[in-house]
Amino acid sequence: MFVYGAILFITLGVVRADLPKCVAGKYQIIPKLDCTGYYLCVFGKPVEMPDCPPGSAFSTSAHVCVPKDSIYDDCKLDVMPTVPDLGPLTIAEQCHVKGGLIPHPDECQAYYNCSHWYESVPRHFEQHLQECPYPQLFSSETGKCEHFEDVKCGERKVFKNGCNYRRNQCPVAHCVPCSVRLPSCEGKPDGIHAHEVKLWSPYFVDCYKERTISERICKADEHGRTQIFNPELNECVSMDQIPRAHGGMMPDCTNLADGFYLDEFGRCDRYTVCRGGKFSNFVKCQPGETFDAFHDVCMPEKKTCGPCGNRSDC
């Protein structure tokens, strides 16, 4: 059998009214009505392919050029043939036809790089698949990873939680969970918030548009002492403002009446204020003064009564 192979070479021509209709996303080969060649449907548009050589016709069943009027010539059609639905093009087929960068059909942060080949495909990925750094998204308009506010994703899903990005998930069985490395800001307003996995620690997160912008650590206070992020106050505070149940030094005013009290840790240059059965704040005395527990005021040390003073006639 003398059979000519169809040459796959895309040529752009003038759009005509008699062109066949393609189904978007479907791979189709449609013979011409005069049997001289065929159309290849590429991304929903018919592309006219080079004609068969002189003396040959395009076979409807074999999809190749065959000798005209031979037993293999089955292109005797007077209507446009119906081509079976072969389904959408695979990524490999799209890379072969188009190449370049192809947006992931369902996820806005992901795309396929046809020039990138994995010798060993990483966990959570597939061949050619790559991702933008969190929280960037892949723009189908620019073909690049862009700031998430500058990308129109259409029906592609947008992940606000960085742990939904494949690159942030554990690549091996044993690793530090993503929620520890990248706490979520989903559902939270802009600003700083407690680290959900590291509560009552120096760690907190900075949120913007429900994305985790950064993980931060409380700075030491003016005396160089470690500060802790208090999720109830939503700020970095000294150990004095951290409840003892969470490892802090906050006074317990549960059973105390409203008033001023000696510091529980023996610091005479300050006193504790209790209100409503709860710790309110510390008040520091002026330099050279100590707290007089008998009179509930700060006084010069020589005139102070109680454990912090030098007077013996109180």
Range of the domain at 288: 251-314
Considering only residues 265 and 137, tell me which one the structure prediction assigns the higher pLDDT.
Answer: 137
Q: Please check whether residues 113 and 169 belong to one and the same domain.
A: yes
Determine the distance from the C-alpha atom of residue 293 to the mean position of all C-alpha atoms in its chain, rounded to a whole number: 56
- Determine the pLDDT at residue 181: 94
pTM of structure: 0.62
Task: Quickly state the pLDDT bin for 29 (edges 50, 70, 90).
Answer: confident
The answer to the question of residue 33 being in a domain is yes
Same domain for 146 and 115, yes or no, is yes
The model's confidence at residue 18, banded by pLDDT at 50, 70 and 90, is low
- Domain end position, chosen among 158, 179, 200: 179
Of the candidates 162, 157, 167, which has an alpha carbon nearest to the alpha carbon of residue 180?
Answer: 162
- Same domain, yes or no: 21 and 83: yes
pLDDT at position 108, please?
A: 97
Q: Using one digit for the tens of pLDDT, what is the confidence trace for 141-162?
A: 999 999 999 999 999 999 999 9
Among the candidates 154, 179, 204, a domain finishes at 179
Same-domain status, 246 and 257: no
Residue 224 lies in a domain: yes
pLDDT, position 9: 35
Number of neighbours of residue 268 by Cβ within 10 angstroms: 20
* Neighbour tally for 310: CB within 10 Å: 11
Same domain, 113 and 168: yes
| First-to-final CA distance of the chain | 123
- Considering the domain boundaries, does residue 95 fall inside one? no
> In this prediction, what percent of the chain has a pLDDT beyond 70?
90
- Structural domain includes residue 23: yes
- Report the chain's mean pLDDT, rounded to a whole number: 87
Sequence-ordered strand ranges (E) for the chain? 28-31, 38-42, 45-48, 56-58, 65-67, 101-103, 110-113, 129-131, 137-139, 144-146, 191-194, 203-208, 211-217, 228-230, 235-237, 259-262, 270-275, 278-284, 289-292, 297-300
Least confident of 16-25, 92-101, 109-118, 152-161: 16-25
CATH number, domain containing residue 296: 2.170.140
Least confident of 95-99, 136-140, 143-147, 191-195: 95-99
Mean pLDDT computed over 17-21: 71
Look at the chain and report how many structural domains it folds into. Answer: 4
One domain for residues 255 and 299: yes
Characterize the bridge pairing of strands 228-230 and 235-237: antiparallel
Peptide bond preceding 53 in cis form (omega within 30 of 0): no
What is the rounded average pLDDT of the residues 256-260? 95
